[in-house]
Amino acid sequence: MNAIISAADLAAALASPNPPVLLDVRWQLSVAKAAGEPPFDGRAAHAAGHVPGAVFVDLDRELASAPGGAGRHPLPDVAEFGAAMRRAGVRADRPVVVYDGGQGWAAARAWWLLRWTGHADVRVLDGGLAAWEGELETAVPEPAEGDFTPAPGAVPLLDADAAGELAFSGLLFDARAGERYRGEVEPIDRVGGHIPGAVSAPTTENVGPDGRFLPAAELRARFGALGAGDSKEVGVYCGSGVSGAHEVLALAVAGIPAALYVGSWSEWSSDPARPVAVGPDPR
């Protein structure tokens, strides 16, 4: 099954006898704002207009637990995540489509969590809300309670030790911007640089100017040029396990399975005992 869906195919699916559950996961990374500029409010954006029937899901509160030593967006409590998905109407026997404002990172985080916890039919709207050409609604949906029960472990997950080992035994992609990988800038975490052995593969290079994913063949060629292939085990990390999920999604579109290191750089760099590499060379 393709991990992404076009806006046209979503419109057709919504008109089918078994329409998907729609989740709106609009979110923006919290960084320093200009004086007087309010933080992004995904719930307010949803209230102002969303794909008909879409239920808002809060990434920071429902797709992650509180920030701390395990990173800025650690895995959510599984029971709480399951309850949030059931409130949103998620059922085991109905497909799910997730979208965000267009960047795709937050939608990919929801996609990955649902896949990791065992949902068999989850897709991301390619291009996000910006790609949707149908009408929007402002009414707050009131879905019937779902029945989804999470069963973690359906897709691979890395912890810090496994990520550090994979950087040498297989292939570990760093999905952040190149300047953060090289350690030239670090706007959020304790120190700049990358996990020794990791290969720079910014997730922003997996999409075109319209925010849609590159064709699968182009993605396969891109990841192949970076070392993926020949049954090599692949992992991904980013800053806090959000944009990294988007890279795992891009790899899935390319037909390459990959594990996610959810703690990512925010966890790795918080421990002064862990090694840090800087510059363009992986090691």
pLDDT at 29 over 90: no
pLDDT tier for residue 36 given thresholds of 50, 70 and 90? low
pLDDT of res. 32: 45
Per-residue pLDDT averaged across 47-62, rounded? 97
Q: How confident is the model at residue 33 (pLDDT cuts 50, 70, 90)?
A: very low
Phi/psi at 9 (nearest 5 deg)? Answer: -70, -35
238 catalytically annotated: yes
Can you tell me the mean pLDDT for 189-212? 96
For residue 37, pLDDT beyond 80: no
Q: Show the tokens assigned to 209.
A: 């100017």
pLDDT at residue 39, rounded to an integer: 82
Q: What is the tens place of the pLDDT at every residue in 223-260? A: 999 999 878 999 999 999 999 999 999 999 999 999 99
CA 6 vs CA 25, 73, 115, 137, 240: distances in Å: 17, 28, 19, 20, 27
pLDDT in tens, 7-20: 999 999 999 999 99
**Nearest-10 Cα torsion for 51, 247, 158, 188:** -90
Query: What number is the average pLDDT over the span 32-60?
Result: 85
Q: Measure the CA–CA gap between 26 and 82, rounded to whole angstroms.
A: 19
199 DSSP β-pair partners:
173
Mean per-residue pLDDT of the chain:
95
Is pLDDT of 31 > 60? no
Beta strands in 39-90 (DSSP E): 55-56
Is there a contact between 124 and 179 (Cβ–Cβ < 8 Å)? Answer: no
**Residue 218 confidence (pLDDT) above 80:** yes
pLDDT at residue 283 in the model: 85
Judge whether residue 30 has pLDDT over 70.
no
Q: At residue 157, does pLDDT exceed 90? A: yes
d(CA 263, CA 75): 8
pLDDT at 130 over 90: yes
pLDDT of residue 34: 44
The CATH code that applies to domain 4-131 is: 3.40.250.10
Amino acid type, 54? A
Q: Spell out the residues 6+ positions from residue 43 whose beta carbon is closer than 8 angstroms to its own.
A: 56, 58
Other C-beta atoms within 10 Å of 245: how many? 31
**Whole-number pLDDT of residue 184:** 97
Helix axes 105-116, 243-253, angle to 10 degrees: 70
Query: How long is the chain?
Result: 283
Q: Which of 113, 238, 248, 256 is catalytic?
A: 238
CATH topology of domain 157-268: Oxidized Rhodanese; domain 1 (3.40.250)
pTM: 0.96
Inter-CA distances, 110 with 60, 91, 115, 125, 258, Å: 11, 15, 9, 12, 16
Q: Is 114 exposed, middle or buried (0-12, 13-18, 19+ CB in 10 A)?
A: buried
**All CATH 3.40.250.10 domain ranges in the chain, comma separated:** 4-131, 157-268
pLDDT classification of 40: cutoffs 50, 70, 90:
confident
